[in-house]
Amino acid sequence: MLNQNANRQGVNRHTRNRALTGRVFNIQRYSIHDGEGIRTLVFLKGCPLACLWCSNPESQKAGPELGFIRSACKGDDGCDAPCVAACPEDAITLNVEGIPIIDRERCTACGECVEPCLEDALKIVGKQMSVAQVMDEVEKDRPFYRRSGGGMTLGGGDPLMQHQFSRALLEEAQDAGIHTALETGAYLPWDDFEPLLHHLDQLYVDLKHRDDAQHRKLTGQSNTLILSNLSRLLAVMDPKDVVIRLPLIPGCNDSTENILESARFVAEQGYKQIELMPYHTFGVSKYPQYGMEYPLAELAPQSAEDLARLRQLVGRFGLTEISAQA
């Protein structure tokens, strides 16, 4: 009888989980980053932070957004701009060259303008999907997971913004025997965060700045909740399954003092693994697509010598430095 009840509860949970929906902005297959082996990366919309260097600006808002790819648009080269008439909100006008200008205040991201554009210059980012739909995608690569030790990684945005959806995805993957990983900034009250940890094989947590005032300046939020979560995490997870990541943004958080203070804090909590993430500009070209401006001036990435020096600093605390991923 006890077994029957447990089975029934398991089936009910599975049914509930699979029906749950969340906002996904990308599913990337065959990745060799962000976890063991070959992985399917599921990127969820929404982030509680707004890091100045964000490489996924389209992920920050929780809702769907319209992206406009200027280089694909033929408004100045023969296109009659059917996008303008398609918009029920009058959110698109044309500049003197015939190129659309999108009024982001008016745009509701309804997507009506996307199909009329034959050049694929318009797209909606952020699709409502059920756990069942995401898992169908993830399951497609099961043979690769088996051979490589890979699995599913949740990223974003920050998957904790949709923590119930994330938890359901992790539970379903775990029940299906698929390795699970999650990347996060750990900005969520512990009582909501902790249940997810029981369904994770690997966890990557960013620490953006050790100093609270600087953290607020760079991300828009205090680091108090993040540090508090970091001080509790190892009560639930094994240190070998957690990597603390330090994004290195030139002139913002890569000072000797901040790297030393961050590494000291990480080591004091009992973590063993740290990853230094060199600065890159991969996401800069995406900003104009969403009517945004990249808030940092062009910054030169750290030199090999700078990185070697920073690696030496974290080495002082007995932390294993995981190689940064391209």
**Least distance from ligand SF4 to the Cβ atom of residue 187, Å:** 29
Mark 13-52 with x for binding to ligand SF4 (rule: CB under 6 A) and - for no binding. ----------------------------------------
Burial tier of 263 (Cβ tally within 10 Å: 0-12, 13-18, 19+): buried
Chosen residue from 79, 227, 237, 267 binding ligand SF4 by CB under 6 A: 79
258 and 30 in contact (C-beta within 8 Å)? no
Binders of ligand SF4 among residues 159 to 218 (CB under 6 A) are none
Instruction: Determine if 89 is a binding residue for ligand SF4 (CB under 6 A).
Output: yes
Three-state secondary structure readout of 126-183 = CEEEEHHHHHHHHHCCHHHHHHHCCEEEEECCCHHHHHHHHHHHHHHHHHCCCEEEEE
Count residues binding ligand SF4 (CB under 6 A).
Answer: 27
**Least distance from ligand SF4 to the Cβ atom of residue 101, Å:** 10
Instruction: Determine if 125 is a binding residue for ligand SF4 (CB under 6 A).
Output: no
Instruction: Determine if 119 is a binding residue for ligand SF4 (CB under 6 A).
Output: yes
Q: 65: Cβ–Cβ under 8 A, 6 or more apart, which residues?
A: 58, 109, 124, 125, 126, 290
Instruction: Determine if 87 is a binding residue for ligand SF4 (CB under 6 A).
Output: yes
Identity of the residue numbered 297: A
Phi, psi torsion values for 4, nearest 5 degrees: -60, -45
Residue ranges binding ligand SF4 (CB under 6 A): 66, 73-75, 79, 81-83, 86-87, 89, 91-92, 100, 102, 107-113, 116-117, 119, 121-122
